[in-house]
Amino acid sequence: TEVSYNSAPNLLSAMDRSPRTAAIVVLALLLPAAVLMAGCTQQEPLTVRIADHPTYGKLVTDSTGRSLYIQARDVPNTGAVANLGEVGRFYPPFYAESVASGNGINISEFGHITRADGKQQTTFRGWPLYYYINDKEPGDAKSQGANNITFLAKPDYTVMVRENATSGIYLSDTA
């Protein structure tokens, strides 16, 4: 009986052949690791928490500390989400599959809606919650009061700003 042995291919000799081959080999080795790392950036499902902000006090944030916002043009407790037009791309909806109690969180104040575009969105006291894409770091609150329409979600609000076509901007009791 004859047995033959084929050793593993010598990658170094393949890389010596041409720079293009070397680049392909390197990409083939690194791509699976990059794909795995990209899928593992969020270790836990998103939820909400109450965070202390040095300027704005207590805020509702996601579990990573990113600020969450409400839009005065939305109609709370209806599932209606205002069409923000081109500005909407700056305010992606926030969605947490579940909300855990503790740390000042009253889970009865949170819910979720399915928007007309099919996206899920978490609500706070009936108000749909949003991120602001230019808030990059935990604690950023760059869109607070933008155009008198976008406001940080705060657990101590008793009234919130709203806007509609007939009344303009006005305050609404959230109770």
User: Given this model, what pLDDT does residue 54 score?
Assistant: 95
**Is residue 161 predicted with pLDDT exceeding 70?**
no
Residue 163 pLDDT: 67
pLDDT at 139: 94
Band of the pLDDT at 8, cuts 50, 70, 90? Answer: very low
For residue range 28-63, what is the model confidence (pLDDT) as tens digits?
Answer: 444 444 433 333 344 567 889 999 999 999 999 999
pLDDT at residue 39, as a whole number: 37
Looking at residue 124, its pLDDT comes to 94
**pLDDT 10s digits, 77-103:** 888 898 888 989 999 999 998 888 777
What value does the mean pLDDT take over residues 150-167?
A: 77
- pTM of the full structure: 0.69
Query: In whole angstroms, what is the distance from residue 75 CA to residue 48 CA?
Result: 21
pLDDT band at 171 (very low <50, low <70, confident <90, very high): low
